[in-house]
Amino acid sequence: MDYNQAALELHAKGPGKLTVQSLVPCKDKDALSTAYTPGVAEPCRKIVANPDDVYTYTLKGRTVAVVTNGTAVLGLGNIGPEAGLPVMEGKCVLFKEFGGVDAFPICLNAKTKEEVVAAVKAIAPTFGGINLEDIRSPECFEIEAELERDLDIPVFHDDQHGTAIIVLAGVLNALKVVGKRIEDVRIVQNGPGAAGTAIIHMLQVAGARHIIAVDEHGILVPGRPEGLDGHKAKLAEETNPEKLSGGLAEAIRGADVFIGTSIAGALTPELAATMAPDAIVFAMANPTPEIMPDQAKAAGIRVIGTGRSDFPNQVNNVLAFPGIFKGALSVRARDINPAMKMAAAKAIAGLIPDEELNEENILPKAFDPRVPEAVAAAVAQAARESGVARV
């Protein structure tokens, strides 16, 4: 199937993929006067008297804003807010179809982090949560941090945390398959941008002790001649306990796990062959991964996952974000904190019973109907236990 041509035809048909549908009919004077003026004034007065009543009388508590400025859209790069709109519409479709969550695309003509932050803060009263999407690194870190600090609704950068949650779920199950413990394995993360950095932090929360981060200039280590700045300087301090230097070849030798959020072909078969026995690889560059599954298997890799749906063990963010927001909204959470992210990862991993785990079955499929409900329940419970739930 020619997906490019099919997509053009689908998007032109609407045009677009979303519409607004009223929940109430306005077929007579009484209906109109109840849905709008004069009757609508009464919910307004209730909300003035008790601001939390906005969740009772409006769409806020079931609606998420999917926000981008178009600076890092899919693999297309800085294409701008208008060109990014089809992707954001698609994300909203996934929210609704997979999680039953209403979402609306917000594409901002905002070049700086200050403009993005100001715009999101200005629209926040309408929404129960904010899903940041396709915002370039390193601005995405600072934007998320400031919004999390200043808003009392969940803020979630899916490119970072959604990917990290699915990777952790996959790693936990892959380690069961090969009989290793997360505390003991050596992990190489290639491409420590937004997703790579979040993956490292999730793995550390889960107990990983030996992580080496590698970028296009080599291993992140303090004092590296090529230099370090921003989040990479911090990662250099938080990872690589042996203070190893060099490039990917030095990092990968004897490693148990490789996680790629980098470029096609970064992990050659020759490099993969130097990994430890029963090694695990998550090669998530799209559309062409860091190493193709057949090459990885030929090099001795035991478990291989990619971002593609035509290979086993797909790392697909749709396993995470619909259920995460569904759970967070259900308890009116103020935040999506590490405990909730960990709960989501464990819920996803737990959907594959131990007796069904194997090299090609470490993650649920995208269309598994159990996923959003399991994730939502786990996230809601973690929100209650960690004190960020309002109800």
The Cα 34–Cα 139 span in angstroms is: 45
229 is known to lie in a ligand binding site: no
102 is known to lie in a ligand binding site: no
Query: Which residues are annotated as catalytic?
Result: 36, 91
Structure tokens at 202: 């999730």
- Give CA 52 to chain center in angstroms: 28
The Cα 162–Cα 316 span in angstroms is: 9
The Cα 357–Cα 365 span in angstroms is: 13
Start-end of H helices in the chain: 3-13, 29-35, 41-49, 54-57, 81-99, 113-123, 139-150, 158-178, 194-205, 230-238, 248-252, 269-272, 293-298, 321-330, 338-350, 370-386
The Cα 317–Cα 67 span in angstroms is: 16
290 is known to lie in a ligand binding site: no
CA triple 340-346-347, angle to 5 deg: 85
From the list 210, 211, 221, the residue with the least C-alpha distance to 245 is: 221
Other CB atoms within 10 A of residue 360 CB: 13
190 is known to lie in a ligand binding site: no
Strand-pair partners of 303: 280
Structure tokens at 160: 């970072």
Query: Cβ neighbours of residue 117 under 8 Å, at least 6 residues apart?
Result: 143, 146, 147
Structure tokens at 223: 């004092």
159 is known to lie in a ligand binding site: yes
Pick out the residues of the known binding site: 133-134, 159, 286, 316
Pick out the residues of the known binding site for a divalent metal cation: 133-134, 159
Pick out the residues of the known binding site for (S)-malate: 286, 316
